[in-house]
Amino acid sequence: MLRYQENNELHRNFHGSTDNAMRFVEKTCGQEALREVLRQTGRDVYKSIREKLARGDASELIEHLTWFYYRENAPFKLEAGENEIRFEVLECPAHKQMKKMGLEPAPFNCLQTEEVNAGMCEGTPWTSSVEHIAPGHCVQIFRKEPSK
């Protein structure tokens, strides 16, 4: 079950605000600082997902990915196995919305996916990575260390 239940209207322009916030932190504090804030967001805001991953339960992570990309009308493919989850996003809703707003995503915009996912996995048997296929098209991969 999701910790944050969101069912109401969407304000998609917040994707532009996220990009703007990332640009400010990167410009004033550097890219490592930006990674730190994003990772902290993954670790602390998504504590519930992280704690379940630590117990070997990926259910909330899967629900989180599918629900929020579905809400934003993103085409995606999910392959979920016991030790690996592959979540392919065919058209990133954040990039799509920014294009609609006439904004160019920062060159480091995708760090939000990489680092928030890494934060969710911190201290758990899971690791995350992102394969970038094309602009707005990526595969988010979560792998669990096989049980010994």
Partner 1 sequence: MIPSDHFVRFYNEVFKYLDKRGLLQAYFDDIGRYAAGRNLEKFRKGGLQAVYDYYLVIRKEENCELDMELKDGEYHQRMNKCPSLSKVLDNDASASPRYCLHCPGWTLPVYTAAGLYMVYDLMEPDQPHCESWLYDDPQRALAKYRELCKKIPAQRIKTNLPKSLLEE
CB of 100 to partner 1, least distance (A): 13
Q: Quick one: CA torsion of 98, 140, 50, 44, rounded to 10 degrees?
A: -30
Phi, psi (degrees; rounded to nearest 5) at 10: -105, 145
> Is residue 87 within 8 Å of 140, Cβ to Cβ?
yes
Which parts of 28-57 interact with partner 1 (CB under 8 A)? 28-29, 33, 36-38, 40-41, 44-48
Distance CA 32, CA 102 (A): 28
Tell me the number of residues near partner 1 by CB under 8 A: 44
- Residue ranges in contact with partner 1 by CB under 8 A: 3-4, 6, 8-18, 20-21, 24-25, 28-29, 33, 36-38, 40-41, 44-48, 68-69, 71-72, 89, 92-94, 97, 101, 112-113, 116
